[in-house]
Amino acid sequence: MTKENTTHFGYEQVKVGEKAERVRAVFDSVATRYDLMNDLMSMGVHRLWKRFAVQLAGVRPGHRVLDLASGTGDLAARFAGLTGPEGLVVMSDINAAMLTQGRIRMADQGLVGNLAYVQIDAEQIPFPDNSFDCITIGFGLRNVTDKQKALAAMYRALKPGGRVLILEFSQPLNKPLKAAYDLYSFKLLPLLGRIVANDEQSYRYLAESIRMHPNQERLKEMMEEAGLERCDFHNMTGGVVAIHRGFKL
C-alpha cells in the first residue's frame, strides 16, 4: 500500500494537489480586507518591512521586475515608482481575487504606465530564461506548495546579475519573543480575523503556516540549492520577519 504524497497546510496534513486549492480559498476569503488586516495585525510595521525590502532589491530606472504573490501590490507600487516609465513591473499572483484587488488599487493610485498583470503559479513562471533584473516575493513563499521548485523557476527567469528577494515571516531569535509571538499569533490574530474579516480560520492558517515555513538558515540553503549565490538574509523585528536575497552570477 503506497502512502499518498501529503504536505502541510498549516498544522493540517493535506494531499499535495489539494494545498493550492485550500490556499486559494483562504485568499479568496481575505482579499477585500487584506490591507486593513495587515495594518491591524502588524500595527503598521509591515510598511517598514516592505520599505526595507525595496531598498535591498536595488531596482533602478529601466529595470524589469517580477513581483510574485503580488497581492494588493504594496511592493509593486514602490517598484513601479523606481523603474520609471522605461521599466516594467509585472504583478503576478496565483489568486485572481487578490490580483483584481491589486489592479484596482494600482489604477486608483494612477500607476498604469509600467505595470502588467498576470495570474501565474510561482512554481511555473511562464517567462523566457533571463527575463528579469529582479524577482521578488513578499509574504507569499510560505503558501507555495513546492518551494524548491519555485526557487528554481525564479533562478531560471532571472537575468545574470539579477537578484531574488524573499520577504517572509521567519523564526524569532530569542525565546521570550517567541513566546510573546506565539501568544499573539494563536490567540489575538484569529480573534482579530473573526471581528474584522469574519474569518477566524484563515488567520489561524496564517499563524500555522508561518510555523511550518523553513527558518532563516534553511531557506538560505534552499536558495543555494536552486543555484543562487552570495545569499544572505536580514532579520527584522527580532527575526519575526526576514528578507533573503540571492544573486544569479
Partner 1 sequence: MSVSTLACAGLEAALNSYLDLDASARKQMDKLHGRVIAFEILGLAQTVYLIPGPGKVQLLEVFEGDPDCCISGSPLALARMSDRYASSSQLFSGEVAIRGDTELAHQLSKILGAMDIDWEEQLSHLTGDLIAHRVGNLLRATRDWGANSNATLCLDIQEYLQEELRLLPGRLEIEHFLGSVDTLRDDVERLQARMTLLQKQRQLDSQ
Q: Which residues bind partner 1 (CB under 8 A)?
A: 45, 47-48, 51-52, 54-56, 58, 60-61, 77-78, 80-82, 84-86, 109-113, 236-237
**Nearest distance, CB of residue 40 and partner 1, angstroms:** 18
Q: Which is nearer to partner 1, 87 or 190 (CB)?
A: 87
- Minimum CB distance to partner 1, residue 35 (Å): 15
For residue 197, give the 3-state DSSP assignment: helix
d(CA 113, CA 80): 9
Rank residues 108 and 129 by Cβ distance to partner 1 and give the closer one: 108
Neighbours of 22 (CB within 10 A): 16
Strands 88-93 and 64-68: parallel
Measured CA to CA, the distance from residue 103 to residue 117 in angstroms comes to: 8
User: What angle is formed at CA 75 by the lines to CA 89 and CA 173, rounded to 5 degrees?
Assistant: 140
In angstroms, rounded to a whole number, what is the distance separating the alpha carbons of residues 38 and 49?
Answer: 12
- Residue 122 Cβ vs partner 1, minimum distance, rounded to whole Å: 25
Tell the smallest beta-carbon distance from residue 77 to partner 1 (Å): 7
The smaller minimum CB distance to partner 1, of residues 72 and 237, is found at: 237
Of 17 and 44, nearer to partner 1 (C-beta) is 44
